[in-house]
Amino acid sequence: MLLLPLAGCGVIYHSTSVNPGITAEGKVRVLPLTAESVMLANAAPFEPKKLPGYFNQSAGINGTLAAPVTAPETAFNQVNRPDALTTRLPPPVAAPSYRIGVGDVVLLAVPQQGSTVEQLTGILAAQTARQGYTVQDDGSISVPSVGRVQIAGQTVEDAEATLFQRFLDKQIDPTFSLEISEFHSKKVAIGGDVTTPGVVPITLQPLHLDEALAAVGGAKSADLDTALVRLYRDGKLYEVPLKFVYEQPEIGRMLLLAGDSIFVDTAYELDKAAAYFEEQIKLAEFKQNERKSRLEALSSEVGLRRSELQERRDLFASRLELGAEARDYAYLTGELPKQSRYPLPFDRKATLADALYEAGGGLTSARSNPKEIYVLRGSANPLEYDSITAWHLDGRNAASILLATRFELHANDVIFVAAQPVTHWGNVVSALTPSLLVSSANAVSN
């Protein structure tokens, strides 16, 4: 009874299917999708489209620090602190008696002569005549009424005995006294890092090292740990750390001899070292500021580069959205929630599962037939343009879906999912329902 209305309505439902053999579209070959056939299908040459090169570039790919600015030449050389100071002391000597030498000034005091009346009154009793005499180059002094007397190399006592004898020889009253008023013949030279370099005379009292340094104002060195006192005596050089002079009395009281030369040597000059380190700090600050400037310039360059890359990428995305960029697609049809085309990704290959569940919305249990899932692919050989291979996936076994995750799609592949058999009649009924309702309404009205 139902056939007549159906025939009368003229509604016929045609379901889509994949038919092997020679068709109007060409030669169709259906191959079951197995692990081996997946390997065969994936072996066919296909390269996904590449993203433009600027998608693989970073903003700093061409950014490098600018050439550094040459720092100014240093004005000071580095002064290294010595590791250790050596001590070489001269042999100990006994304090010698002072002997008169050339250049010394001796003072000769004799009673002053007067009249008999003056002598009787005692006016001149306490008066003496004092006269200074400089020892000449020949070692003698010239005394009036006595003549030249050799006293160089003699002690004061020896010189007095010599003069006494000469006074007797000249029948002169040998009442006199002799003393040295100026000491010029015996000296110690002191130089180097002292307040007032110069010479220190040796007098009747022995001269010691600490006294000699004090006589020239002491050492100027602020770093006692590195200052040396060098002593040159009789062709030999001796040295001792300056701090030992002040810390060890036996060294500070070292006896100096005529002709000694002392030089205070600062092996580590603090002022130069401080100037050097200050200069190095300034150079480091200069380099840091200069590098900071170069980093800021690089940052600006990277920012511009990043903006340029982002602009080009945004333009590419806009062109894709508008369809202005060439792109590969796979096409989904059949009993799927959504008939669509699936854009193949750039730089990688997509699989059948990607297209089914991302673009097609997956299979529906009511309409999709998991037994009939096909991927149709045309031949890449121009001479076989009408040859079509249909890779058939039977998805009734859920384990077979794993093959869909391995099957790689190529450009222009067509993915087809057939309908469930019962769906055919459902579609027919859906198509006929409006006609049946119209026919019933017409019958009632008649």
For residue 391 the two structure tokens come to: 């890779």
Does the pLDDT value for residue 360 go beyond 50? Answer: yes
Closest by CA position to 343, among listed 381, 374, 317: 317
What does DSSP assign to residue 429? H
What integer pLDDT is reported at residue 18 of this predicted model?
74
Arithmetic mean of pLDDT, 52-61: 74
The model's confidence at residue 342, banded by pLDDT at 50, 70 and 90, is very high
Using CA atoms in the order 345, 349, 355, 359, what is the torsion angle rounded to 10 degrees? Answer: -10
Please state, rounded to an integer, the average pLDDT across all residues of the chain: 80
Say which residues have a Cβ less than 8 Å from residue 169's Cβ, sequence separation at least 6: none
> In the predicted model, is pLDDT for residue 14 greater than 60?
no
Residue 440 has pLDDT above 50, yes or no: no
Residue type, position 339, single letter? Q
Query: Is 202:183 a contact under the CB 8 Å cutoff?
Result: yes
Nearest to 37 by CA among 400, 358, 372, 399: 400
- pLDDT confidence bin for 399, thresholds 50/70/90: confident
Give the model's pLDDT for residue 166: 92
- Which CATH number is 105-182 given? 3.30.1950.10
- Decide if pLDDT at 134 tops 90: yes
Confidence at 27, pLDDT banded by 50, 70, 90: confident
pLDDT on residue 21: 64
- At 113, the pLDDT band (50, 70, 90 cuts) reads low
Q: In whole angstroms, give the CA distance from residue 43 to residue 410.
A: 11
Q: Alpha-carbon torsion 202, 205, 210, 213, what sign? A: negative
pLDDT per residue as tens digits for the range 240-277: 888 888 889 998 899 999 989 988 877 556 556 566 66
The identity of residue 91, as a single letter, is P
CATH no. for 187-268? 3.10.560.10
d(CA 370, CA 419): 9
In this structure, how many other beta carbons lie within 10 angstroms of the beta carbon of residue 165?
A: 12
pLDDT tier for residue 159 given thresholds of 50, 70 and 90: very high
Q: Would you state the structure tokens that stand for residue 358, as one six-digit string?
A: 């991302």
Q: What is the pLDDT of residue 5?
A: 44
Q: What is the DSSP letter of 278?
A: H
Please state, in angstroms and as integers, the Cα–Cα distance from residue 9 to each residue in 46, 52, 280, 429, following that order. 50, 57, 103, 12
Number of helices (H), then strands (E), belonging to the chain: the values are 11, 19
Question: CA-CA distance, 73 to 279, in Å (whole number)?
Answer: 10
For residue 67, is pLDDT > 80? Answer: no
End-to-end CA distance of the chain: 21
Architecture of domain 3-49+326-433: Roll (3.10)
Alpha carbon of 58 to those of 54, 270, 276, 309, 318: distances in Å?
8, 52, 44, 8, 21
Strands (E), 128-235: 128-134, 140-143, 147-150, 177-182, 187-192, 198-201, 207-208, 227-233
Residue of 201 and 446 predicted with greater confidence: 201
pLDDT on residue 65? 57
- Alpha-carbon distance 139 to 134, whole Å? 9
Which of 213-217, 258-262, 336-340, 432-436 has the least mean pLDDT? 432-436
Phi, psi (deg, nearest 5) at residue 267: -65, -30
Q: Is 1 helix (H, G, I), strand (E, B) or coil?
A: coil
Domain ranges within the chain, ordered by starting residue = 3-49+326-433, 58-79+270-324, 105-182, 187-268
Tell me how many degrees the CA angle 43-347-402 measures, rounded to the nearest 5: 50
Concatenated DSSP letters of 347-358: SS--BHHHIIII
Cβ neighbours for 385, distance < 8 A, ≥ 6 positions apart:
26, 378, 379
Residue 434 has pLDDT above 60, yes or no: no
User: How far does Cα 362 stand from its chain's mean position?
Assistant: 58
Choose among 373, 365, 377, 379: nearest CA to 423.
365
Closest listed residue to residue 413, CA positions, set 329, 326, 325, 323: 329
In this predicted structure, the answer to whether residue 69 has a pLDDT above a threshold of 50 is yes
Q: What is the mean pLDDT of residues 42-55?
A: 87
The CA–CA distances, whole Å, from 339 to 212, 321, 345, 350, 369 equal: 112, 19, 19, 18, 16
In this prediction, residue 157 carries a pLDDT of 94
The helix (H) or strand (E) run that includes residue 435 is: helix 421-445
E strands of 9-166, at which residues? 21-23, 26-32, 105-111, 128-134, 140-143, 147-150
Q: Same fold for the domain at 3-49+326-433 and the one at 187-268?
A: yes
